[in-house]
Amino acid sequence: MKEDIRRLPDSELALMQIIWRQEPPVTRADIEAALDDTHPLAPTTILTFLTRLCDKGFLALERRGKVNYYTPLISEKSYLAQASRGVLDQLFGGSVAALATSLVDAGVSREELEELRRMLEEGRL
């Protein structure tokens, strides 16, 4: 059965990418530390995003004492697959050939296209 996954705004997706790359469960402090170097956010802003992600079904919340622990309910692979399909359908009318042409026009190298071909032939995609 195909899972219907909502597309996330960039700010929420940035948090999910941090969460997906860490060993679950994670805390707000874990996320805050990961964001500090790239684009620090106020703790209250992070909590707002985490609440939204829980409400949308992306995260499960477990409260232990005064600390909230968050565990992803949707894998990065599932999210990326659905988002990619959405882009393919919306921007390219579902045409993989149109997507490939666009990639070439955007400057994807011949070597990268060759790598893609090899992955398809080897069944890695």
Looking at residue 124, its pLDDT comes to 77
Helices assigned H by DSSP within the chain: 10-20, 28-36, 43-55, 76-92, 96-105, 110-121
User: Digits of tens for pLDDT over the chain (125 positions)?
Assistant: 345 788 899 999 999 999 999 999 999 999 999 988 788 889 999 999 999 999 999 999 999 999 999 999 999 999 998 888 888 888 899 888 888 888 889 998 889 888 988 988 888 76
Looking at residue 38, its pLDDT comes to 81
**CATH 3.90.1150.10 corresponds to the domain 10-72:** no
Domain spans in the chain, listed from the N-terminal domain onward: 10-72, 76-121
pTM of structure = 0.79
